[in-house]
Structure 1
Amino acid sequence: MKKFMLFCLLFTFLTSCDYVLKKKEINTMVKIDSVPELGIAIEKDKNGCIKEAGYKWSIIKDNCIRISDEGYRLNPIDDLGNLEPSKSAYVLLNDDKLKAEVFLQDLPKSIYFSRKSKSEDFLKNNYKLSIQTGYTLSVNDSIIYRAAETAIKAVVGSDVEEK
């Protein structure tokens, strides 16, 4: 019986030491390492640009960009006052303005232009981009896009100039 009591006492002592020596977690919340997949397909192009978020690959920037944020907007010649960006073309120039990139909504890739001097127009196949007298894009010598018209509108009544 003494051996049994000694064994019980020893078992209780070791068990209580194990409890005392363990770190107690204050936060009992369960941490989840990852969010379960939502089943949303994200389509990326061959360069890793997310199309649904409006990103396209830029040769000039050598990165994915949102053309509407970084490009100069051109509108169709028959609708220059258009406020709908989905019909617009966008032009991106490098720092020395010897290279240009045009993004058209109908084309999956941009049109990359280069020129030797700033006095020349950009030419590529049947496309011509002119920036000397306002931005224009021509196809087969017919202007199809021109710089978008800017409209300055009053935000509040005090923005309107009194004459």
Structure 2
Amino acid sequence: MKIKKISIVTLAVLSISSCRFIDKTEQTEETKHSLTVKDSSVFNDKDENGCLASAGYVWSKVNKECVKGFSGIQLNPMDRLENEDETLSAYVLFNKDASKAEIFLPKDTTSIVLSRSSDGKPWILNDWQLLASKGYILKKGDKNMFSGDGEMGKKEIETDTQQQ
């Protein structure tokens, strides 16, 4: 009789313990899955072309590669030619033979591609025009929208050292 009681108690303890073990295993698997989903979304923010958006890369249609969003020739708004805020500027990238100019406009996730018929002519798409004249001027219709000196990248307006 004592053996029966011990067996029943042992069986009950094992049943309860195994249920807790299975429950913990299921929670662990759920936790692992939710962490994996969260972690992968942080590190897998590539766009449809494989560009890592969190690092500031966007797809260049004319060069067929990922480029930094603020690369290329910086064109500042006409009403803020001494602009230091890169997010207000437009950027221009050219293809190898400069027959196409890709324009990245501020606050726009896509670019526009302008084409020109020959050297010395403006790059055009619908009512957009990019003119080369002591740098570049980007126009929409008759209005000058952006202008820049034609140099690549961010401009250094002031320095903390002076050359003598």
TM-score interval, normalised by the smaller of the two chains: 0.5 to 0.7
Q: Say if 1:50 and 1:154 are closer, same or farther in 2 by CA, change over 3 A.
A: closer
Structure ID, larger Rg? 1
What is the rounded CA distance, in whole Å, between the counterparts of 1:53 and 1:141 in structure 2?
A: 36
AA partner of residue 158 (structure 2): K
Q: Say if 1:160 and 1:154 are closer, same or farther in 2 by CA, change over 3 A.
A: farther
TM-score by length of 1: 0.66
- Please tell me whether the aligned partners of residues 87 and 107 of structure 2 are also in contact (alpha carbons under 8 angstroms): no
Query: What is aligned with 2:48?
Result: 46
Deviates more, 1:144-153 or 1:46-55: 144-153
Q: Say if 1:136 and 1:66 are closer, same or farther in 2 by CA, change over 3 A.
A: same
Give % identity: 34
- Please tell me whether the aligned partners of residues 129 and 136 of structure 1 are also in contact (alpha carbons under 8 angstroms): yes
Query: What is aligned with 1:86?
Result: 87
Q: How does 1:14-163 map to 2 (within 5 A)?
A: 37=36, 39-40=38-39, 41=41, 42-69=44-71, 71-147=72-148, 150-156=155-161, 159-161=162-164
TM-score by length of 2: 0.66
**Residue 134 (structure 1) shift:** 2.1
- Please tell me whether the aligned partners of residues 121 and 130 of structure 1 are also in contact (alpha carbons under 8 angstroms): yes
- Please tell me whether the aligned partners of residues 128 and 141 of structure 1 are also in contact (alpha carbons under 8 angstroms): no
What is the rounded CA distance, in whole Å, between the counterparts of 2:49 and 2:56 in structure 1?
A: 14
AA partner of residue 132 (structure 1): S
**Residue 151 (structure 1) shift:** 4.8
- 1:6-52 Cα offsets, whole Å, 9 max, x none, are xxxxxxxxxxxxxxxxxxxxxxxxxxxxxx74824243322122222
**Residue 136 (structure 1) shift:** 0.8
- Please tell me whether the aligned partners of residues 77 and 145 of structure 1 are also in contact (alpha carbons under 8 angstroms): yes
| Count of residue pairs brought into register by the alignment | 123
Which structure has more RCO (C-alpha within 8 Å, separation ≥ 6)? 2
What is the rounded CA distance, in whole Å, between the counterparts of 2:155 and 2:45 in structure 1?
A: 34
> Following superposition, which runs of at least 4 residues in structure 1 exceed 3 angstroms of deviation?
148-155
Q: Say if 1:108 and 1:151 are closer, same or farther in 2 by CA, change over 3 A.
A: closer
Q: Say if 1:132 and 1:96 are closer, same or farther in 2 by CA, change over 3 A.
A: farther
Structure 2's unaligned 5+ residue stretches are 1-34
- Please tell me whether the aligned partners of residues 93 and 99 of structure 1 are also in contact (alpha carbons under 8 angstroms): yes
